[in-house]
Amino acid sequence: MLMAPSRLLSSALVVALGLPLTASADEPAVATVDAPVRAPEPLLRGHRFAFVAGGVLAAGGLGLGFFARGEARRAQGLTSARDARDTLDRARSASTAANLMYAAAGAAVLYGLVLELLPDEAADAANLTYHF
């Protein structure tokens, strides 16, 4: 390694020859290592979208469940049998849709958990997201 006796000569060598900068005798030598630069990991990787989808489906199921409960209570106060039957049919349909959304939310979260616990190679193979 080429050592320059003065700071001025060292700076001139660095500029002229493109040599790496060396530490002088009165300064401690610091080793620099070129580490590979990793791209920052995104917040939601492919399989973590399953958790988001599960949350959205569960929230939709809750909304439909509250709607179904409100329609069922509303049907109790109606005097017309036809209106009460129509309202109860809407409540049953909303209740069925809420139950299906709960099941889909559970399946999405279970899928996300399985992919989270699998090794990276197996998770990438079993991942259902489309890569552009």
Q: How confident is the model at residue 4 (pLDDT cuts 50, 70, 90)?
A: low
On the question of pLDDT at 93 being above 80, the answer is yes
How many angstroms separate the CA atoms of 78 and 83, rounded? Answer: 7
Q: How confident is the model at residue 54 (pLDDT cuts 50, 70, 90)?
A: very high
- Record the tokens describing residue 13, joined without a space: 């060598």
Q: How far is CA 46 from CA 105, 114, 116, 123, 130, in A?
A: 17, 13, 10, 10, 9
Average pLDDT over residues 38-65: 83
Domain boundaries, the chain: 46-126
Pair 8, 89: CB distance under 8 Å = no
How many angstroms separate the CA atoms of 39 and 27, rounded? Answer: 34
pLDDT in tens, 8-46: 666 665 666 664 555 555 555 555 666 677 777 666 666
DSSP letters for 55-97: HHHHHHHHHHHHHHHHHHHHHHH---HHHHHHHHHHHHHHHHH
Pair 105, 55: CB distance under 8 Å = yes
